[in-house]
């Protein structure tokens, strides 16, 4: 019975890792749709979002079944609780990629981004996708050091996000209010995607150490 129970916990982790792949692919495609004005890619991200929602529901159903039927304790309990929270963050990452894709579709056939910020969004998109793919490995390995290192990449996204505001506040901004609103919202989507990736990594640290980073512990990242 105990062996079967741990097999179920491993399956739960595999489902979460699979969600990480899904949202990484979604953000990669959404960014390409944004930069390349590719309507087909945007539509693919939009239609695939339901799969991410289904994956979250499946993870939560499995986690709640484990809580109800197995009454886990200690590390096993932390694993199940972390999975519930991580699935929520991963689903939200999918939603943020969806918002990017919808912006690309809404403005098509016109580009959403002025040339002045295209490189910034290309870099943020690349960083976000790398973060999500690293989360997949962290879920599989429960590597605390790798989870802590994720914060550095998140800082890089934050730096670009702050830089966008300096561009938007320039009195010589020539692209109008609508473009400024688009850039502001899109920058926020990318910044929040990275934040949720860090949140998932912190949940994995909690599984291993029993302490939640960022709340006054020695494991803050």
Q: How many CB atoms lie within 10 A of CB 218?
A: 7
Segment 126-181, tens digit of pLDDT: 999 999 999 999 999 999 999 999 988 899 999 999 999 999 998 889 999 999 99
pLDDT of residue 167: 93
Rounded CA separation 149/111 (Å): 35
Q: How confident is the model at residue 73 (pLDDT cuts 50, 70, 90)?
A: confident
Residue in 189, 183, 194, 181 with CA at minimum distance from that of residue 95: 189
Q: Which fold has domain 2-209?
A: Methane Monooxygenase Hydroxylase; Chain G, domain 1 (1.20.58)
| Burial of 116: CB neighbours in 10 Å, binned 0-12, 13-18, 19+ | middle
CB-based burial of residue 42 (10 Å sphere; 0-12 exposed, 13-18 middle, 19+ buried)? buried
Q: Both tokens of residue 136?
A: 């997949």
Give yes or no for residue 218 having a pLDDT over 50: no
Indicate if the pLDDT at residue 41 is higher than 70: yes
Over 80: is that where the pLDDT of 71 sits? no
pTM of this prediction? 0.93
Q: Give me the pLDDT at residue 10, please.
A: 92
Q: Where are the domains of the chain?
A: 2-209
């Amino acid at each position: 019975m105990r062996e079967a129970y741990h097999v179920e916990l491993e399956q739960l982790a595999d489902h979460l890792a699979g969600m990480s792949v899904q949202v990484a692919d979604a953000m990669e495609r959404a960014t390409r749709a944004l930069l390349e004005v590719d309507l087909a890619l945007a539509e693919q991200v939009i239609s695939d979002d339901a799969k991410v929602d289904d994956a979250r529901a499946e993870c939560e159903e499995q986690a709640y079944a484990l809580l109800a039927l197995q009454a886990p304790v200690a590390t096993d309990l932390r694993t199940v609780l972390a999975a519930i929270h991580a699935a929520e963050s991963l689903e939200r990452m999918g939603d943020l990629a969806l918002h990017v894709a919808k912006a690309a579709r809404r403005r098509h056939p016109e580009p959403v981004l002025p040339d002045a910020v295209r490189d910034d969004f290309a870099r943020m998109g690349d960083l976000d996708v790398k973060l999500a793919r690293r989360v997949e490995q962290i879920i599989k390995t429960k590597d605390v050091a790798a989870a802590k290192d994720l914060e550095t990449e998140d800082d890089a996204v934050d730096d670009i996000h702050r830089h966008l505001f300096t561009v938007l506040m320039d009195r010589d901004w020539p692209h109008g209010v609508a473009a400024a609103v688009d850039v502001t919202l899109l920058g926020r989507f990318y910044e929040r995607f990275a934040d949720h990736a860090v949140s998932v990594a912190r949940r994995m640290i909690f599984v291993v150490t029993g302490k939640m980073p960022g709340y006054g512990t020695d494991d803050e990242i």
